[in-house]
Amino acid sequence: MISCIRTLLIRGAIGFLMMIIVPAAVWAQPAAPIPIAPGPVAAPAAAPPVADENYIIGPGDVVDVTLLERTDFNTRAKVGTDGMIQLPYIGAIAAADRTTQTLRDQIRAALIKGGYFSNPNLSVQIASFASRYVTVLAAVGMPALVPIHRAYRLSEVLARVGGVHENAADYVIIRPAKGETRKLSVKALAIGDLTQDPYVSPGDTIFSPIADMFYISGQVKSPGSYPLLSDMSVRMAIARAGGLTDMGSDKGVKITRDGKKLNKVDIDSKVAPGDIIVIGERLF
């Protein structure tokens, strides 16, 4: 009997010790690391625009001149208002009115002539464009000076400024620094007509005017004011206003223009800016 009691006491003591030792061992283990959500990955920097090989350097542009043989020659220089840049060894050198290739050859020749290198391996690239741009004004998403570092068509420039507004005219005007002003159809640009999508030139001003308006009331389904399209006829204006009502007649059209009522209106005559068109009722 005593032996049985002793056995029970020993087993109880062992169990009690296990209850203490095992949790302690678990607690002593290093805590598992808490997973951390990865932070946002930085987007790679946008590559600088690459200049067309025919781009002409001008005042305000910034160029990188790199010489593989001597890193101490490597220079980032801004073209001054006098068209010059400053470089090690050779000092001031003309950079304006030259392509990157022409400037590279000019610097290379100066280094050879000065006795600094017999066959320098040079690279000239444009780091920032400032001298050659077009100006985009008026009813566009974001009027701006758009740098021209390669050949750009008109549609590309308009895309870069957010396109034309809904209240813009259906044409844009290009005023070149030299030459005649041109008026070009926005619709032709939209459908990809390259004959109506010319290349722009540095110094051009691109103007997207606010559309002129006309006003229509009377027996049309949606009376109101509307943008005037190029070569818009009275017939087209009625269609723009939703067409005639059941009571309307295209024979009873009256137009007030510049404060004066027109005596006779042809349904296919052109609508003028500011016209007030009244559609009358048909006769039974």
Structure tokens at 58: 């001008």
Same fold, 133-208 and 213-281: yes
Span 97-144, pLDDT tens digits: 999 999 999 999 999 999 988 999 999 999 888 888 899 999 999 999
Distance CA 103, CA 125 (A): 10
Q: What is the pLDDT of residue 201?
A: 86
Q: Of 28-42, 124-138, 248-262, which range is least confident?
A: 28-42
* Length of the chain, in residues: 284
Residue that wins the pLDDT comparison between 78 and 13: 78
pLDDT at 10 over 60: no
Q: Which of residues 130 and 22 earns the better pLDDT score? A: 130
User: Which comes out higher in pLDDT, residue 219 or 30?
Assistant: 219
In this predicted structure, the answer to whether residue 17 has a pLDDT above a threshold of 60 is no
Residues 6+ apart with CB under 8 A from 68: 121, 122, 123
Sign of CA dihedral 111, 123, 103, 86: negative
User: Cα 103–104–106 angle (5° rounding)?
Assistant: 65
Domain spans of the chain, in order of start: 62-128, 133-208, 213-281
pLDDT tens-digit readout, 72-92: 889 999 999 999 999 999 999
Nearest to 122 by CA among 82, 87, 164, 83: 87
* pLDDT for res 11: 52
- Mean pLDDT (whole number) for 3-11: 47
> What fold does the segment set 213-281 form as a domain?
Outer membrane lipoprotein wza fold like (3.10.560)
Give me the chain's average pLDDT, please: 83
CATH code, 62-128 = 3.30.1950.10
Please write the tens of the pLDDT for every residue from 212-248: 999 999 999 999 999 999 999 999 999 999 999 999 9
Fold entry, domain 133-208 = Outer membrane lipoprotein wza fold like (3.10.560)
pLDDT over 70, % of the chain: 81
As a 3-state breakdown, the chain gives helix, strand, coil percent values, each rounded to 5, of 25, 30, 45
Residue 64 predicted with pLDDT over 50: yes
Q: Which two tokens stand for residue 220?
A: 């049309």
CA neighbor of 248 nearest in space, from 271, 232, 267: 267
DSSP 119: S
